[in-house]
Amino acid sequence: MKLTLGYSPCPNDTFIFYGLTHGRTPVSGVDIVESLDDVETLNRRALKTELDLTKVSFHALAYLREDYCLLKSGAALGRGCGPLVVSKNYKSMEELRGKKIAIPGRYTTAQLLLLLYDKDFDNIEVMPFEKIMPAVAEGRVDAGLIIHEGRFTYQGFGLNKLIDLGQWWESESGLPIPLGGILARRSLGADTIRAVEDGIRKSIGYSYANRTEAMDYIKRHAQEMEEGVINSHIELYVNSFSLDLGDEGVRAVEALFDKAVARGVISPSDKSLFL
């Protein structure tokens, strides 16, 4: 069976999926065909059900539950890893009211967190995440909602942090922040989905055990990041929740959706998160 798998070129995803997509931890009877895109492109492709398996933002999952279910492995979820709002000329979120904020996509969890923080921050411009910090630094937008390695590099653009929305979420909920998860088409069936889930866990273990081997692949897709930034990125976004969401991870996802429904940001769903 040939299955398409979409994930981003970010180091956490290429680290997670190296073994699975390079024949190191194969899934019996399954041929994985990789497709690398930025997270918002993956979100939109999932909305068209173009992929059998795919990484998406948890925000996007709110619109995908009819056709896709969440896997318990491969997720990006944790503490101290949330999106930041940064600016060059402004020092507080209050000063940003009415100002233009660049965001990395309408279906990103970063955007969902911004809406949960305050729905009035709605003067937005969508752009690829790697273009946000230069746009803020050059004054083309007033602030930026940054994700991924931006946590480690924004100061190099002369920007200051106004808020860490991950820390805000943690203080509000007491739970880690769910950023992105791996989905499977429900039509694949329980046996295939469980086999892929197990294959992802084994792939993560392989990359930990063979980091030097995996690093060549990771660097090839890392947009010229320094190796120190690559390693920091992996350490932050690949953790125990990536191996298995566990009870706490599931509670975090459910709490995110419950709050978004209560605020009127997304519609409720009676479809289970999992198969």
Q: Which residues are catalytic?
A: 148
Scanning the chain, the segments in alpha helix (DSSP H) are 11-21, 39-47, 58-61, 109-117, 129-137, 150-153, 165-173, 190-209, 211-220, 227-237, 240-243, 246-262
Question: Under the phi-then-psi rule, with left for phi > 0, alpha for psi from -120 to 50, and beta for the rest, what region is 217?
Answer: alpha
Question: Under the phi-then-psi rule, with left for phi > 0, alpha for psi from -120 to 50, and beta for the rest, what region is 189?
Answer: left
Other C-beta atoms within 10 Å of 82: how many?
A: 23
Cα separation, 200 vs 220, whole angstroms: 21
